[in-house]
Structure formats: C-alpha cells, structure tokens
Amino acid sequence: MLDLTLTEIAEALQGELVITDAAEAAGYSPATVVNGTVDTDSRLIGEGDVFVAKRGEFDDGHRFVGSAVEAGAALVVVEHPVELAVPQIVVADSVLALGYFATDVVARVRASGDLKIVGITGSNGKTTTKNLLRAILERVGETVAPRDSFNNEVGAPLTMLKLTPSTRFLVAEMGASGKGEITRLIRMAKPDVGVVLTVGLAHAGEFGGIETTLATKTEMVQDLEPGDVAVLNRDDARVAGMAEKTAAQVLWFGLSDSAAVRATDIDATASGTSFVLHLPDGSAHAVRFAVLGEHHVMNALAAAAAAHVLGVPAVDIVSGLEVVTRAERWRMEVMGGRDGVRVINDAYNASPDSMAAALKTIALIATPEQRTTAVLGEMSELGPYSVEEHDRIGRMVVRFNIHRLIVVGEGARAIHLAAEHEGSWGGEAIFVETADEAYALIEADTRPDDLILVKSSNSAGLRFLGDRIAEAHSLGGETA
C-alpha cells in the first residue's frame, strides 16, 4: 500500500477517524503513517497491516478485530466503534468504503506515475488469462494482479490497494453476479485495456439469462475512451458485437483469420499445447505452452494481445506464456504419476463451456491404449438451463467415447441419465451420491496409465476428491 497518514486514509474511506486514549498512549496520532497490506481476513494480518471488518452472509468480521490487533494490525476499519489500542476508522459500510479507498489509491498512483490498467472479464478464463498476463508483464515492470479469483466488490479493491508508487501495471480481474457490478469496478480503476473473453452460460441462473449476462459483460467496454483499447474475442459472436458498443479502438484475438492476434498450427498433447502466435505487426512466433487444454490457447491469445497493446516485446510475450505451467490451482492441474496414472483436477469452477472443453481435452490427449475416466459433478448457477446443460454434457461424454463416467451428486444426475440413454456407447456410467463413494470406485479399479478427469463447480467440492485421488497415485505417495 502507499504511505498514507491516518487522516488521509479516513478521508479516502469517507469515514471517521477514532483514536482512543489507549491508542493515543501507544503513540498514534492523525499524522501516523500506515503502509501495510489491507485485508478482510484476520488470519492474513501481520505487523503494520490494515484490517477491514466486513459483515458476511455467515459471519461478521467485527468478531475478529481483537485477533487482527493481536497479529499486529496498525489500523482497523469498522462499522461501529470498538475499544482498541490502535486507531480505527468508522464507516457506514465496510465494502463500500473499500471501494472508495481503492479508487483514491488508484488515482494517486496514476497521478504520480505511469500506471497502466488492464481489466479482464468473461464467462470463462478470467483467472487463467490474468495469470498469463501477469507472467508476461512482470518481465518488463512491477505488476500487481489478484491472488486466486479475487474479482468481486471485495477482492478487486483489495488487489488495487496493493499498488505502490513504482507499480507499472495493474491487472484487474473483474467478475460479476449482476448488472452494474463491472461498471462499479471499472469506476474504481478505469482500464486502459479492456479484455472480454467469452459470454456463455456460466452463472446464467444468477444473471437471469444470457442476454443479461451479455449486457453485464459489455460494461467492460462501454466506459472506455477513444485512446483506450478493447481486446475482444473475434470467435465469440456475442463478444464481437461489443465492438459497436465502445468508443475505444478494437484489437481482435482468436483463431479466425480476421483476428490480428491469432494462433495457427495448434497441437494439443498430454504435456501441453504448441502453437504459432501471430501478432499485429505480421510477426509469427512458435510457443510451447505448458498449460493443458487447447481451450487455454484462447486465454493465451487474449493475454498476448493485451501485452502487445502495452508495448511488451514479442520475446517477452512468448517467454511469459511459456513459463506458466498450470492455469491455477484446481484448474486443469495435472497430478499423480505413479504407474503412469494421470489426474487432471479441474474442479474449481465449471460451466457448460469449460466442462465441454475439459472433456474434449482428455479425448484429444489420450493415447489409443489409454483408458479415460470422467468424474463429474454439478455445474452450479445455471438456473432454468441446468437440466438441459447437464443432459448435453452427458451426451458429450458418449460422443467423445470416454471409457468410464462417474457422476457425483444429485445436482449432476442428468449427466448420468443422458449418458445412459445415448445409444451405441461401449463405456460405463455410474451415479453415486458422495465423493467418498466416487473415491472408492476409482481406487477399486484404477489401472496403470489411466487418465482421470475430475470436473465440477466449486460448490460440489470435487476439487478435494481430485486431490485425494492424485495423492493416492502420486510418485512416492500412499493410498489414503
């Protein structure tokens, strides 16, 4: 965080600075400078940090103020006064105050330096693209990007508050569960480059339909100015239509010949994907991309396009892409290895598009002699599309000739039913209620060189099942 006085922080938060007698006795005053990390998780607070007490759906951060102070917090942000030996800033709403604070810090860094901001949104691929772009930009300057999937009204501001006077690039992952949320994030940190990856059925139930999803994702480009650049997916018709909704310049990426940043000669294997990257200057560059799954090439193209706009040399774009070995924890993460057994744990998020891409990946990379198993759980937040889309995935398992399907949980039962009703399939479909049952089935019949995909939405909890299977088949591991 920037070096700011308590008075400056209180003004930014639009709150009231309270320094109790105990805090004053400890040496605090309105002129005290604070520059620690800002967080809403008291477990992550250290010496000199700022703890923001946020009310949540299931808990209240005010219960952990004491723990944060014991851990070394130099300042707490609260919605009601508490008796503390450190300063506190009292605000009406902690989440709104975080946004005010982030807006102020971004404005200060912009005014004093050469900060460039990239905003990334889309129904799928945001976190992977963010990680790839960070790997590229870090090669040429100080870069701030979110940890994990910090892309909402809390996570995005916390990332922005990590800016320093020497930060050159901010990569802001911007997610939403409803209209107006991306606009709110953009107004904290307006991008110089706005990236839109896809518009699909992920979270369509929450949004209320695909048209609302489209309108929400379009918010990324609507506030861009003529000197900004919208990096858009030429192969997604809904994203391509956003070119008419922005005043910014448009840079297309995709597999289409009309995309200025595109990939050719794509070759997906079990060790990654190789392709030739074409840039707008007419140059072509061979890329050996270690992230598993042909679908991640599109994320690589989006990251390459954004980096090109920011003036990053092609050699750094390629080396940045090649240094990343996995999309993210629990995203197409290759694990295991003992007796040739490979587990692809992709159970952090799931939408119809990402589920289809994962199934296509194991079908593509499996050798003719290799047995494939798909362990699939529910795709959440699909609303009225849920049964139809789970049914479609079950039929896709058959079309890709996956050898064994294990469906976990009542929410995913339609996958199992669809696979069973699809004709002329020599594979096997099994339905179980729990992850423990799925684990027992896997361990009772795992053969050398098996390729096992574990895929579901985060809420289904199958990422831990993926870890458990992988641990049982890790090199030197023990069966649980």
Known binding-site residues for ATP equal 122-128
CA distance 452 to 343: 5
Question: In whole angstroms, what separates CA 244 from the centre of its chain?
Answer: 27
With beta carbons less than 8 A apart as the criterion, state whether 12 and 70 touch.
Answer: no
Bridge partners, 89 (sequence order): 17, 77
**Between helices 210-222 and 181-188, what is the axis angle to 10°?**
20
- Tokens 């990332």, residue? 159
The DSSP secondary structure of 363-408, one letter per residue, reads: HHHS-TT--EEEEE----S-GGGHHHHHHHHHHHHHHTT-SEEEEE
Q: Are 327 and 296 a contacting pair, CB within 8 Å?
A: yes
Task: Tell me how far CA of residue 8 lies from CA of 15, 26, 35, 256, in angstroms.
Answer: 10, 20, 12, 50
Q: Which residues of 139-168 are buried (b: 16+ CB within 10 A; e: fewer)?
A: bbebbbbbeebbbbbbbbbbbbbbbeeebb
Question: Angle formed by the axes of helices 413-421 and 386-399, to 10°?
Answer: 50
Distance from C-alpha of 444 to C-alpha of 437, rounded to nearest angstrom: 11
Rounded Cα gap, residues 459 and 366, in angstroms: 28
Binding-site residues sit at: 122-128
Strands 88-90 vs 16-18: parallel, antiparallel or unpaired: antiparallel
The C-alpha atoms of residue 174 and residue 57 are separated, in whole angstroms, by 21
Measured CA distances, 174 to 220, 239, 347, 414 (Å): 9, 16, 21, 31
Instruction: Return the residue matching tokens 């918010």.
Output: 219
Token pair for 56: 């949540």
- What CA–CA distance (Å, rounded) separates 466 from 330? 8
Taking residue 467's Cβ as centre, other Cβ atoms within 10 Å add up to 20
Q: Are 61 and 123 spatial neighbours (Cβ–Cβ below 8 Å)?
A: no
Token representation of residue 343: 């587990």
Q: How far apart are the first and last CA of the chain?
A: 43
Task: DSSP letter for 337, please.
Answer: B
